[in-house]
Amino acid sequence: MAPKFNNYRLLNQRIRRSLRFNTHQLRSLPMQLSELIVDYFDIYAPYDYMEFDYAASLTRFGCVDACTFLVAMVYVDRIRKLDKQFFETTDPNEIYISALVVASKFLYDDGIKESVYNDEWAVSASTSVKRINALELQFLDVIAWNLNIDENEFYNVLGICERWIALNSVKKFGFCTYNEINILYERLNLYLKCVRPLILFVSIAILIYVTSLSLMFVAFRLSCTFHSDGK
C-alpha cells in the first residue's frame, strides 16, 4: 500500500497503467523500474554505478512492490540532496537496498502479509543480516530519521518515473502507448505554461524594437525629403 492518500484505488490503477505493470502483480516490479534506478545512479553518482543484475535480483524475490519502490526513490533523492558527499562516495547498491528496507518498514507494520524482514532482504541482496542491519541504521542516521512523505513528494517521484518510462519506450522501441503520449504531452504543456510569459515578453520587446526602427526610418526619410524640398 502507499501512504494514506485519497483515492488510493485510483492511484493503484494509475501505477499499474503508467509504470508498465500490465499483467504483473504490484508486488513484482517490471524490468523498466530496475532500469530506471540504474539510470538514476548513472546520472547522479558519477564515481560509481549500480549493477542492473543487482537491482533486478531484488525484485525476483518479491520483496519490492510498486509503492515501496516509489517511497524508496523519495528517500534516495532526499539523501542525495541532504548529503552529496555520502551519496557520491557510497556504493549505489547499498544506498538502494537501504532505502528499500526503510521504505518497506515505513509502509508495512511487522506481522502483516506484505512486511519483509531483514533476513529476507539479506537473501535477496546476497549479503548477511548483520550487514543489512548496519546499512539500515547508517541510512537512517544520514536521513536524520525523517521518513515522513507528503503527497507532493510522492506524486512528484511518481511523475518522474512515468515520464522516464514513456521516454525510454520511445528511445528503445520507437513508439509509446496512448497513456504515455498523454504523460509526455502534459509535461510539454507545463513547460509551455512556464515559458509563455517569457515568450510574450520577448514578442513585445521585438515588436517595440521593430516599431522603433520603423519610426526612425520614417523620420529619416521625412528628413531627407524635407532637405530635398528645401534645396
**pLDDT at position 231:** 52
Half-sphere exposure of 184 (CA within 13 A, CB side): 14
pTM above 0.85, yes or no: no
The Cα 213–Cα 169 span in angstroms is 49
**pLDDT at position 32:** 82
**pLDDT at position 184:** 53
Q: Spell out the residues 6+ positions from residue 179 whose beta carbon is closer than 8 angstroms to its own.
A: 17, 18
**pLDDT at position 2:** 47
Question: Looking at residue 6, what DSSP letter applies?
Answer: S
**pLDDT at position 190:** 43
Residues in the chain predicted with pLDDT less than 70, given as ranges, are 1-6, 8, 17-18, 20-28, 60-63, 110-114, 168-202, 217-231
Give the N- to C-terminal CA distance of the chain in Å, as an integer: 91
Work out the number of other CB atoms within 10 angstroms of the CB of residue 117. Answer: 15
**pLDDT at position 213:** 72
